[in-house]
Amino acid sequence: MKPIVLCYPKCGTCQKAEKWLKTNEIEYVYRPIKEENPNKDELKSWIAKSELPVAKFFNTSGLLYKEFNMKDKVKTLSEDELIDILSGNGMMVKRPILLVENTVLVGFKEEEWKQLFAK
């Protein structure tokens, strides 16, 4: 199965990630995060597989994050409440998200991606 990359086309980090995938000749499925927002079940699964706290799935540099004062809310709301917020708007979700079999990487850290595809 091809890796799936959730991206937003205007996101600079997503553009870097896609360029890296193309340079390394890795075929992937592109999923536009704004139009095909992750649902609650997907997010719960990805959070578990990534072994990251739900707070790491928020796009902390996004306008919505700041507008809704999420910096304080991620510290006080339950995981389910935070997942509800993430599933409500794809622009709230950190990107890119890379899905490869049972691995979920959030954001683009070239070394992490290299290690994953070196397997």
* Domains of the chain by residue range: 4-118
Distance between CA 11 and CA 81 in Å, rounded?
26
Distance between CA 72 and CA 49 in Å, rounded?
25
Using the predicted structure, report yes or no on whether residue 89 has a pLDDT greater than 90.
Answer: yes
Distance between CA 113 and CA 104 in Å, rounded?
10
With cut-offs at 50, 70 and 90, classify the pLDDT of residue 56: very high
Q: What is the pLDDT of residue 91?
A: 95
Q: What is the pLDDT of residue 119?
A: 72
With cut-offs at 50, 70 and 90, classify the pLDDT of residue 1: confident
Q: What is the CATH number of domain 4-118?
A: 3.40.30.10
Q: In what order do the strands lie in the sheet with 103-106?
A: 29-32, 4-7, 97-100, 103-106
Q: What is the pLDDT of residue 4?
A: 98
Q: What is the pLDDT of residue 31?
A: 98
